[in-house]
């Protein structure tokens, strides 16, 4: 759903998919963007993406999203879906996204809505008391 949400933002733009995984969503973006660069830390994921989700204006790269080899102000739009929660340093990751994003660019990030165990227990306990 996150990739479908992003379609209106990427039309005709140069896009970075930071943490693309196996490439399914990157191909969705490539159907609408002028160029998509999709990066992931996993060689196996990028190999799978190249074999299964290729597109003429889509380039897959093995790259650490905390230290990308792109120049400053490179992308119109950056998407990163279900990635930030896996980062050891969220600050480093966000600084890198900001660095490669154009000054007037857009960054779209999503993360799962997971409740901490203590919060779940508190909700469960308060519900069972009523």
Pick the CATH number of 2-129 from 2.40.240.20, 3.20.20.70, 3.30.70.20, 3.40.50.150: 3.40.50.150
Residue 119 CB contacts under 8 Å (≥ 6 apart), including other chains = none
- Least confident residue range of 35-49, 50-64, 72-86: 72-86
Q: What is the mean pLDDT of residues 8-26?
A: 96
Q: What is the separation, in whole angstroms, between the first and last Cα of the chain?
A: 35
Answer whether residue 36 shows pLDDT above 60: yes
| 105/101 Cα distance (integer angstroms) | 6
Answer whether residue 120 shows pLDDT above 60: no
Quick one: which of 59, 60, 9, 50 has its CA closest to 32?
Answer: 9
- SS3 assignment, position 53: coil
pLDDT of residue 5: 95
Virtual torsion, Cα 45, 107, 68, 2, nearest 10 deg: 0
Answer whether residue 129 shows pLDDT above 60: no
């Amino acid at each position: 759903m996150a990739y479908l949400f992003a379609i209106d933002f990427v039309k005709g733009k140069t896009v970075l998919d930071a943490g693309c995984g196996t490439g399914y969503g990157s191909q969705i973006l490539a159907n609408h963007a002028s160029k998509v660069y999709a990066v992931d830390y996993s060689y196996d994921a990028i190999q799978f993406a190249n074999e299964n989700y290729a597109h003429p204006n889509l380039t897959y790269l093995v790259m650490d999203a905390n230290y990308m080899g792109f120049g400053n102000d490179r992308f119109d739009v950056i998407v990163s879906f279900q990635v930030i929660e896996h980062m050891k340093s969220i600050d480093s990751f966000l600084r890198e996204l900001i660095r490669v994003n154009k000054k007037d660019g857009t960054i779209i990030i999503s993360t799962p809505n997971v409740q901490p165990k203590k919060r779940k227990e508190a909700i469960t306990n308060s519900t069972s008391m009523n």
